[in-house]
Amino acid sequence: MADPQVLWTLAVFFGRLSLQAFGGVNVALGSMQRFFVVEQQWLGAAEFAELFALAQTAPGPNVIVVTLLGWRVAGLAGALVSTLAMLLPAALLVYLCACTLVRGRQQQLVKALLAALAPATVGLLLASGGILARSSNHGLSGWVLTLVTAVVALSCRAHPLWLIAVGGLAGLLAGHA
């Protein structure tokens, strides 16, 4: 049986994060890592990065990482509470905004808001990538592999699974697996 206090803590954290994560779950990785690893000390940095990597390899939405984090901390109840807390507040907010802001000239307001949020989303994604890189890279070869992968991902349309496969092979060849 999951600790009700832990479930409440997960619900409050992900409920608040849900309303702040413009651009998806990945922009909130820094906040999640700080919460789970530093503040609550439920996970180590490497375990957090491993759960994120597992979530990225699974088919489906990026929010799977929230489900995995909740499951790791509080089992099935934690997975359900975390996922619902992450999805419901934002879904309700989007629904309410769509009902009220999509009329007439208010569409211009929506376009301006989205244009203003785009640079912030890019910055948060880059910060999340930096946090994961610091948690996962333990030597020069790791940093080089991360940099090469980022350049390839940004410069061509390689499927992420190919990048993961090549990264895994490079890690094996370098003796890091």
The Cα–Cα gap between 170 and 177 comes to 9
pLDDT along the chain (177 residues), means of 10: 94 94 81 95 93 86 93 97 95 81 64 76 76 75 80 83 81 69
4 class by beta-carbon count within 10 Å (0-12 exposed, 13-18 middle, 19+ buried): exposed
